[in-house]
Structure 1
């Protein structure tokens, strides 16, 4: 997908440090102070335009959320949502999701969401997939013991790869949905991509995978 260039985006992001911290590495180990509470912290790696993380923050004020997105022209849309309806339990990070240990201390995060990640279908790009073992090692380091990854995609190949990757890493596959929207699952919050792909008739896959303590 070609991203629309938004020349004003960097300046806008810089203008709202209360929502997108300028030096997030300084918050490593101190995110509870940023939120001014000790609530659990859930992060979404690859938050896109922010619909999922924004809706989750509205639904669950007892949980703190952080949306992580590298593309400046995309995260600015998520920022617009946060500016319009300020949520004290939501922050955004304009950083690389492959460098999470620079911004979070060990055991600081309670859950990781991966929604409709780039499938990187070519074998030579396997290491770029967000469910590749090196990414899993990063998630494990920042998550609490028995922390979980909740993963959704419409890409069958990526889903099958991820199930295998989770299993080979030694994770527990707690629950697996092969057709989420035609299941009994309750409380699903859709992303922009999820709605688009579902409307096209694509099947949505979901898994909850847990690290072993």
Structure 2
């Protein structure tokens, strides 16, 4: 698959070949994308929520009233969940929400996410993502020429500091290095912008071992 390469000023800078095995998958599998997104979001959950249960409440265990003759229920102690200040019945506990997903499945899901952007004409390849000065105003003007309002921008191994600082103040725009590319961020933005350096890194990362 061949795609035009453009500059920040919307000028043309040649073209680049995209691997069909990575960017040209025809039938996008929504189940793979859902599994990858669920795997990512579950790993982000802190799992630090906690409520004291009956055995953790600091109250006396002495029987409140005599067993019979009071005309009321026969309660044992004030730590029961039915009382104000009592323990929580089956409350949340500190735990990990992370799930398992095979590495090959994660790689395949990323290929499908990239192919969905390429197939939907939502993929742009930039010559480079660099600015002479970290001015947000200049970057907004450049994005206006490119028609970008909601985008994920992936650069090479490292980010240009001026570009990253300028993009930091623009809403609905994320900038990541190539190693930070992930399914969730690709899908949550309308347009995927890759630099030529990012395309090379993606090919290295997702290329089959036998062809590497």
- Provide TM-score, normalisation by structure 2: 0.25
**Structure with bigger gyration radius:** 2
Q: Which has the higher contact order (CA 8 A, sep 6+)?
A: 2
Higher normalized strand content (fraction of residues): 1
